[in-house]
Amino acid sequence: MFAPLLLLALALSVNSAAVTKECQLSAGDIQCLVKLQKAGEQLDELDVDNTEDLKPFQESCKAMMPCINVLKCAGEDSKESIDLITGLCKFIDFIIGPFSACGEKLEKANSKCYEDWDPIINDDENKKPTQAEVCKSFVGEKECVKKGIIATCGQKEWDVMKANLVNLNKDVTKCNL
């Protein structure tokens, strides 16, 4: 629920009366904002351990990447949102691409931890997640996702996953990864 509101607020904050030509909204830019809203709506429904579920979001990412310049017109306030969007899109590309073989192994092992894993924190707009919630979301209960990836796919695969998790949320750097 929060993600679509975040993207809509960001879209509305774009200064259409900006002096520079790059920041004046065109019809194409409005279409970009619609794409951003669509991606935000899909965000709440993502299941990271289901590749088929991720593919529509990956397509939305590809469609909206050219829209990032429109978001830059919202000023410094938009930087966090731009980082979130690009980090999330890169993370989804990683899960569907390089990590897919490991993901399949984890699914075949019927890992309850991996099945329940949801690294995408859907922030309540009135409450920022605690550091403990961030860490639990990214490494699983008692670090079960971390341990499962290392045991099933190896330390190298975990190291690549860790780098992608850090790109997704900078607060992860404070976790025991």
One DSSP character per residue, 89-139 reads HHHHHHHHTTTHHHHHHHHHTT-HHHHH---S---BTTBPPPHHHHHHHHH
43-79 burial, b at 16+ Cβ within 10 Å, e below that, comes to beebebbebeebeebbebbeebeebeebbebbeeebe
Say what the pLDDT of residue 126 is: 59
Q: Which amino acid is at 106?
A: L
Say what the pLDDT of residue 122 is: 61
Say what the pLDDT of residue 168 is: 77
Whether the CB-CB separation of 39 and 64 falls below 8 Å is answered with yes
Say what the pLDDT of residue 157 is: 94
CA separation for the pair 84, 82 (Å, rounded): 5
Say what the pLDDT of residue 23 is: 66
pLDDT digits over 50-77, tens only?
A: 777 788 778 878 877 777 766 776 666 6
pLDDT digits over 90-99, tens only?
A: 888 898 899 9
Say what the pLDDT of residue 8 is: 44
CA separation for the pair 141, 59 (Å, rounded): 31
Say what the pLDDT of residue 151 is: 94
Place of tokens 């830059």: 72
- For the whole model, what pTM was predicted? 0.70
153-160 long-range contacts, Cβ below 8 Å, gap at least 24?
153/101, 153/102, 153/105, 153/106, 157/99, 157/102, 160/94, 160/98, 160/99
pLDDT digits over 88-142, tens only?
A: 888 888 988 999 999 899 989 888 888 888 787 665 555 777 888 888 888 888 8
pLDDT digits over 5-47, tens only?
A: 444 444 444 444 333 455 666 666 677 777 777 766 766 666 6
CA separation for the pair 122, 44 (Å, rounded): 7
